[in-house]
Amino acid sequence: MIARVSLEIALRKEFDYLVPPGLVGRVEVGSRVQVPFGPRKVLGVVTALAAESAHAKLKPILKTIGTQTLVTPKVLKLTRWIADYYCCAPEIALKSVLPEVVRREESGWRERLFVRALPVNGEFPKLPKRQQEVWHIIEERRELPLAELLTLAQTTAATVKRLEDRGLIEIAPQISERDPYAREHILPSQPLPLNEAQAAALVRITTAMHGADDQSRMVNAESVEPSKETASSFAARHSSFLLHGVTGSGKTEIYLQALDYCLSRGKGAIVLVPEISLTPQTVERFKARFCHGPQQTLVAVLHSHLSAGERHDEWHKIRQGRARIVIGARSAIFAPIEPLGLIIVDEEHEHTYKQEEAPRYHARDVAIVRGQMESAVVVLGSATPSLESFYNCKRGKYTLLELPERVDNQKLPHVRVVDMRQAARKEKGNLIFSPQLKEAITQRLERGEQTILFLNRRGYSTSLQCPLCGYVAECPNCSLSLTYHRPEQNLRCHLCGHREPVPAACPNEKCRNPAIRYAGLGTQRVEDTLARLFPHARVKRMDADVMKRKDDYRRVLGDFRTGKIDILVGTQMIAKGLHFPNVTLVGIIYADLALHQPDFRAGERTFQLLTQVAGRAGRGDVEGEVFVQAFTPFHPAIQYARRHDFVGFYEQEIEFREQLKYPPISRAALLTLKGRNEEKVKFSAEHVRRELDRLTKPGGRASSPLPAAGQNDDGAHGVTRPTFNDLVIAGPAPAPLPRAETFYRYQLMLRTRAMSKLSQALAGIMAALTLPEDVTITVDIDPVSLS
């Protein structure tokens, strides 16, 4: 038997190896194996099995890793699509589906000593008092970890060993799973009654799940009736839903009841949540519904705040079929759930679903494709859907489900926009709180209600500058000013991590002004100002500078829920997914921070962020109030967010996108070249532009060998490239952030409706492209950020 193996080194090739007699039956498609590669031993994944090979003298597989195949055939098929569409090496796509701790050669299970009570034969022996006390604990528990027993009994291992010598107990090593929520006591919850809109949405979702088997049969029949609408397009259209509900409309309850229906049909589910919203509160709501009684291990959690050991155990819990629901960040889309019945993508508009390094996949789009491949229903949920998803509803690709009102007849918060230009004229200095917001905070403190203050910028001040000569402290590695962090008394670059002490005077040799001052503000300064204005208020800050340990989120949000914190200050990590009934006031310090960035999505992001943050207010019995402080208060994004009017915002924004052929009207690809020599990078970018221009010329020919996507290079020169009638190429030009981490950056942007075809063409160009050794190029298909 021959095994085709994809190695972990990105060579864009698969290699044939002989399956030795001792491994026959153990090597399957998806098995992790160790193979010889030249003088080295490398790891890889078996992607196919064959009876013969075109190559002679094959080397044998050395050994298999683990007792179970780690990559399922369906996930393997998904990685091939990712490699083709996102223009990356198949090995890199395959590597991304397994957590690093699972890919390791050695077993990651933790073994601990356990004490187990044995049946007593004959007369029970007389024990000394100390051993008697220890035995009572063991008899009651029957089995427990030795370390736990020593703590409970306040005894030594020697005392326990004497009980083993008497034949009363057994001390033996066992695999001890690391459960990140083992210490949490979560009370079970029951399904809540649904309003009319919720019930209608749930019926549509469960009906689609019921019909999934029929859709699967249609997919198998596609080759029989190719003239009709393909089953896969039918399935995608009728099994992909956009659940558009205002904040607090009860989307989570629909998710929970849909999951319950999915489990009742014997299938599993994946719930994707943006990393930033993956709070303990979110996980607890799912575990409270499903993790009680005999279903203790029904829910598994996968995200970056878990330890390596916890991630290892949670992943294997899924692969072994013990966990049937997976909650996690974007990489959880690859969870080996079989059979898969439902995928939920909560807050589907979030940019954190996009991977920043290869493979640069978007988890929302991968979810749609995986659902299509496995005949699973996909539900995208958001109060502020991405324009791409709403556009797909308008075109009939997705089914739109709407929840126009909050549950229990709760009102949406009243939003007041404060013109900070007028407020600044009345107040001297750098104004943080308008008089209106200051008064509203005072009222909430008097009434014992809670407040959330949002500013999407951490640190104390955003820059250090000299008022005499204009000097600004900048990062030596990036095109960014340094941010002042007051507790540490240093200047810091939030991109590359560079730090330096705060100068006592202007560093400009010709100036040396001691009155150098700070400009702008961040969450540290907001927290400091609150302490002065409201000395008796209990204030806590949540941003990346203070949320460093995995339990920090749980601790701070737990304190906020129980009323130990009056005012919570934070960045976007507090903007979504939080439900606190006692929060009646939300203050957005500077609403237009991101509005004027050089990105066509700047308005969309601002609208989404303001609407989401505003949605944290008024989720209890008291109506909420939101103050939006802005220097451009009449911008459409702010005004539509004030009215909670997504459809109005979509209609005016899509008109702008249509005029310029920006996504979602077309699809985009972003090519970024970087190197430490700016002239070399610029020259290389111009060379790439000339190669790309050939794509717009009918019959354009490659200047170097170009293998077709998915095929071997036949060695022919001058291969004809596909041409694009609608291809728009912009650039090369310096990136919005021209220099980052010592590298100069130039970009080219391509727009077309035929992105799959363009991805294949770009793969060919990248394979044939010759650049200077110190210049690299990356391809980002469907980028969410242009920086």
Integer Cα distance of 456 and 594 in angstroms: 9
- Hey, what are 701's tokens? 């020919």
**60 vs 223: CA distance, rounded Å:** 38
CB 508, CB 466: distance < 8 Å: yes
**Residues, the chain:** 787
CB atoms within 10 A of CB 480: 18
* 622-640 tens-digit pLDDT: 888 889 988 888 989 999 9
Tell me the percentage of the chain whose pLDDT exceeds 90. Answer: 21
Q: What mean pLDDT is predicted for residues 3-9?
A: 84
Determine if the peptide bond prior to 90 is cis (ω within 30°).
Answer: no
Q: In 3D, which of 484, 481, 462, 466 has the Cα closest to residue 589?
A: 462
| Contact (CB, 8 A) for 542 and 558 | no
- Model pLDDT, residue 271: 93
Cα(383)–Cα(242) distance, integer angstroms: 10
Q: Does pLDDT of 121 surpass 80?
A: no
Gap between the Cα atoms of 601 and 603, Å rounded: 6
The phi and psi torsions of 483 (rounded to 5 degrees) equal -100, 135
| Single-letter amino acid, residue 661 | K
The tokens describing 387, both together, are: 């324009």
Kindly tell me if the per-residue pLDDT of 710 is higher than 80: no
Q: Which of 109, 89, 99, 110 is nearest to 32 (CA)?
A: 99
The rounded distance, in Å, linking the Cα atoms of 478 and 263 is 50
Report the share of the chain in percent with pLDDT over 70: 88
Average pLDDT, stretch 64-70? 76
d(CA 439, CA 315): 50
Which residues on neighbouring strands pair with residue 273, listed in sequence order?
none
Residue 723 has pLDDT above 80, yes or no: no
- Mean pLDDT of all residues in 674-679: 91
* pLDDT (0 to 100) of residue 718: 41
Question: Which residues in 393-542 belong to E strands, given as ranges?
Answer: 399-403, 414-419, 450-454, 463-465, 483-485, 490-492, 499-501, 517-519, 539-542
**pLDDT tens, 79-108?**
989 989 998 888 888 888 887 777 676 666
How far is the C-alpha of 167 from the C-alpha of 255, rounded, in Å? 52
Kindly report the backbone phi and psi dihedral angles of residue 600, in degrees, each rounded to the nearest multiple of 5, phi listed first.
Answer: -65, -15
Predicted confidence band at 293 (pLDDT cuts at 50, 70, 90)?
Answer: low
Give 182's DSSP letter: T
* pLDDT tops 80 at residue 268: yes
Residue 401, pLDDT score: 94
> Does residue 269 register a pLDDT over 80?
yes
- pLDDT higher than threshold 80 for residue 672: yes
pLDDT of residue 705: 37
Once rounded to an integer, what is the mean pLDDT over residues 400-425?
A: 85
Which candidate, 529, 541, 591, places its Cα nearest to that of 566? 541
Greater confidence (147 vs 642) lies with 642
pLDDT of residue 294: 57
Other C-beta atoms closer than 10 Å to the C-beta of 786 total: 19
pTM: 0.83
> Higher model confidence: residue 227 or residue 283?
283
Closest alpha carbon to 8 in 48, 29, 37, 28: 37
How far, CA to CA in Å, does 503 sit from each of 386, 511, 516? 44, 13, 9
Q: Looking at the predicted structure, is the pLDDT value of residue 698 above 90?
A: no
**Confidence check: pLDDT of 711 > 60:** no
